[in-house]
Amino acid sequence: MHLNEFFVEGNSPEDSHVLLNITEPSTPAEKSKGYFFAICEINNAATKYIAKLQNIIDEIENNYYEIPDQEDKSALEVVLDKINQESFAVVQPDISLHCIVGAIRKNDIIFSFYGEPQMALFYKTKENFYKKMDLVAENKINEPENRQLFSQIIQGKIGPSDFFFTGTPHIVKYFNHDRLQKIITTRPPRQSAEHLQRVLSELKNNLSFGGIIIHLQEGLEGAVLPKISPIKKGSARSLKNLFSTEKNTANILSSSLFPTLQNKMKGVWRKEEPTELMAPDQTSGFANAKINSLHLRARNLKAKKITGVNGQEIIKKIIVFGWTGIKYGFRGLVLLLLLIGTIITTFGRNLLLLFFVITNHQNRRRNILLEWARWQKNLIENIKNLPTITKILLALSIILALSFIFGVTYIKAAQRKIARAQAYAVATQNVKAKTSAAESSLVYNDTAIALPELKEAEQILKNISCATASEKANCKNLNEKLNALLMKARKITLAQPQLLADWNNLAPGARWENIFFLNNKIYGFSANTSTLLSYDPMTKNSEQILPGILVKGFKAVSVPKENDYAVLLHDDKNISQFKPQGNSWKKIDADYPFQNAKISSMTVYNRKLYSLDTQNKQIYKHDTIKTGFSPGKEWTKAGAADLSLGVDLAIDGDVFALAKNGNIYKFTKGENQPFTAQGIDPALVSADKIWTYNDLNYIYILDATGERIIILDKTGQLKKQITATEFNDPTGMVIDELQKTAFVLDSNKLYQIKL
């Protein structure tokens, strides 16, 4: 049995307050009556009224476990009958009260309600689909105002794979029964309860919420397993197996849980054996119960009143027992100290003698060895002189002792083996259950549910001890299936890169860090050398290009949309222009508002240059002039974002700045705009390049550490992740979205990848 609660406390108990009790029985007699539960929502009530209602709930609980079942009434009926007579004044017109009390034992359930609490049954049909039943609507009766607190009793059964939901009425404002059905029947009860609690707690209003999800399912004997996805398998029971009995009493009116099917199924009820929900002599079956509740409390037995016993006699007996305990405790402590002292003395003496034998200190080795030899000889002689029967008994004692030690060792080893096998079976079943649940969620592209399930399965699989050959093969299959589902949930595509050029052969010992596309050729550059490498896709040839200027190397590059030149950054803030026609070079002007400017990236957009200064955490805008670009003006507003870790820029009308820690900043007219990359797993903790333009549909990010290309739409939602087994340290990227192609530089090797 799975019983999971959710509870959210509002900001104003006087306006909305929820009482939620779940009681766990302790004695066999109480266990035969099962788990008691109660949920009440009180609106517009004083603290005194709430305390009074709590006392009533406690009285129902105590009397339910203490009063035996009658021949024609269950204990709950008797208790509620009494409560209706004694607590008539609880029902007040100016106070909104909604309550449900009941008990569940295995698949038997009995309850009563007042007001309009939320109660629904989600049951599986023969067609293996879930349907819902509103139990309040099915059993609601019309009575005059100021009616009794609990005027009807409903009793029945819950079958395996079915879900029983009960909660406070305000829940329906945010979760109708259709949505509850989708949430509860497509994930484990614990996750359903956590999801409802999380969503309701985020409302931040004065309302309080509470509810319970009850679910029965079959699993390994002695272990509770997570829910197998309902899409994969289920039973084909008819509705008659869900709730099978109804009772009428003299003082408590009763209504059938299925009034519309009552006449058709009377014959079926007669064929079933009568079910005793509260039979005290039945053996309780709560070994497999799994309760997730902060409000679960154990039953405490009431202390029996001591009558007819003299107080002085009690005190006298306490003193006598106390003195006896102290006396024997002291004796035992003395004996224990003597035993410990003897062991320590003997061990110390023999250790000292061994030291003398090893070191021959004071030439005592010979005397000690002679003493040990005499001791051994005396021992052998004593054994020889023993009677035959004593020798036999001694031998048998030694054999029995050795057998006992061997048996204990063998039994413990066998127990450990069985325990490991059981743990392996439970763990693998858990992994299968979670992968099945995740696979079902991925059918609907629900990665928010699938990813946590797969990560939990991955963690469980890491901790599984796969010892035998069959276990290793099974673990390997589970791991392969898990990895495939993880890639699908993470939207990871394993690409097959085409190697275009290996520049290690062209310039041995050099390292090229980045690439750019200009005039139908791909160029590579580095901060450690001024030499460029070019690759012509038409001729498939590579060649070196020596610059016409004296520089140490290039840190960043930008090519305008017109594709007629490239500007390259060197010496932190100086810029040179490269034109492919004739491989011409020239240094051009570009200045900055701060002398200590440290430019990490730049991009040309609409013939204007935008540069990223990490030293002053600023983006500058430069207009085009005859000699290059005008002095930069501060474009981002003061304090708009921390750009100290900025590594790259991209512009599509808005400006995107990429930080080394993976953060992406979006600016519009210098103002920082909210932008978050969503759905990326593993999380983006480092990044190297960003690529987009106004005629492109997506944003492309190169993550060298994660060896992947991340593709986002313009809202930040993940579209795809691309990786390849050939990737080792990808540092450069060029995107041709029209041709659905990416060019990647990795360890001096130029690859082409299909997007």
Q: pLDDT digits over 441-456, tens only?
A: 888 888 889 999 999 9
Q: Is 249 part of any domain?
A: yes
CATH number of the domain to which 458 belongs: 1.20.58
Q: What is the pLDDT of residue 143?
A: 54
Phi, psi of 683 (to 5 degrees): -60, 150
- Based on the domain organization, do 477 and 519 belong to the same domain? no
- Based on the domain organization, do 199 and 67 belong to the same domain? yes
Residue 281 above 50 pLDDT? no
Identify the band that residue 288 occupies on the pLDDT scale cut at 50, 70 and 90.
low
Higher-confidence position of 162 and 716: 716
- Based on the domain organization, do 367 and 409 belong to the same domain? no
C-alpha span between 453 and 486 (Å, rounded): 10
Question: What is the extent of the structural domain holding 731?
Answer: 498-754
- Based on the domain organization, do 132 and 238 belong to the same domain? yes
CATH number of the domain to which 624 belongs: 2.120.10.30
| Residues 126 and 92 sit within 8 Å (Cβ to Cβ) | no
Instruction: Read off the pLDDT of residues 635-660 as tens digits, 9 standing for 90 and up.
Output: 999 888 899 999 999 999 999 999 99
Q: Which two tokens stand for residue 173?
A: 């404002």
Q: Is 398 part of any domain?
A: no
* Crossing angle (nearest 10°) for helices 388-443 and 469-489: 20
Q: Which two tokens stand for residue 56?
A: 């009533």
Q: Which of 385, 417, 437 is the last residue of a domain?
A: 385
Longest pairwise C-alpha distance within the chain: 122
Identify the band that residue 737 occupies on the pLDDT scale cut at 50, 70 and 90.
very high
Higher-confidence position of 481 and 271: 481
Q: Is 306 part of any domain?
A: no
| Residues 698 and 656 sit within 8 Å (Cβ to Cβ) | no
- Based on the domain organization, do 576 and 679 belong to the same domain? yes
Residue range 596-618: mean pLDDT, rounded: 95
C-alpha span between 532 and 516 (Å, rounded): 11
Residue 16 above 70 pLDDT? yes
Instruction: Read off the pLDDT of residues 569-592 as tens digits, 9 standing for 90 and up.
Output: 998 899 999 999 888 999 999 999
C-alpha span between 472 and 462 (Å, rounded): 12
Which 8-state DSSP code applies to residue 71?
A: S
For residue 356, the one-letter residue type is F
- Based on the domain organization, do 254 and 341 belong to the same domain? no
Lowest mean pLDDT among 159-173, 354-368, 479-493, 499-513: 354-368
Q: Which of 489, 507, 534 is the last residue of a domain?
A: 489
Q: Is 395 part of any domain?
A: no
Higher-confidence position of 665 and 82: 665
Identify the band that residue 278 occupies on the pLDDT scale cut at 50, 70 and 90.
very low
| Residues 185 and 179 sit within 8 Å (Cβ to Cβ) | no
CATH number of the domain to which 93 belongs: 3.60.40.10
For residue 636, the one-letter residue type is T
Higher-confidence position of 609 and 264: 609
Length of the chain: 755
Q: What is the pLDDT of residue 153?
A: 86
Q: Which of 465, 489, 513 is the last residue of a domain?
A: 489
16-24 and 296-298: which strand pairing? parallel
Q: What is the pLDDT of residue 699?
A: 97
Residue 295 above 70 pLDDT? yes
- Based on the domain organization, do 563 and 445 belong to the same domain? no
- Based on the domain organization, do 327 and 215 belong to the same domain? no
Query: Token pair 């007219």 is at which residue?
Result: 669
* Crossing angle (nearest 10°) for helices 189-201 and 177-185: 130
Residue range 497-504: mean pLDDT, rounded: 94
Residue 220 above 60 pLDDT? no
C-alpha span between 31 and 299 (Å, rounded): 10
State the CB neighbour count (10 A cutoff) for residue 310. 8
Q: What is the pLDDT of residue 255?
A: 34
Q: Is 238 part of any domain?
A: yes
- Based on the domain organization, do 166 and 34 belong to the same domain? yes
C-alpha span between 381 and 527 (Å, rounded): 91
Q: Is 308 part of any domain?
A: no
Number of structural domains (the chain) is 4
**H helix or E strand, kind and range, residue 356:** helix 311-359
- Based on the domain organization, do 78 and 123 belong to the same domain? yes
235 bridge partner residues: none
Q: Is 392 part of any domain?
A: no
Residue range 230-258: mean pLDDT, rounded: 33
Percent of the chain's residues with pLDDT above 70: 88
Residue 154 above 80 pLDDT? yes
Residue 501 above 90 pLDDT? yes
- Based on the domain organization, do 257 and 331 belong to the same domain? no
- Based on the domain organization, do 516 and 419 belong to the same domain? no
Mean of per-residue pLDDT scores for the chain: 84
Q: Is 730 part of any domain?
A: yes
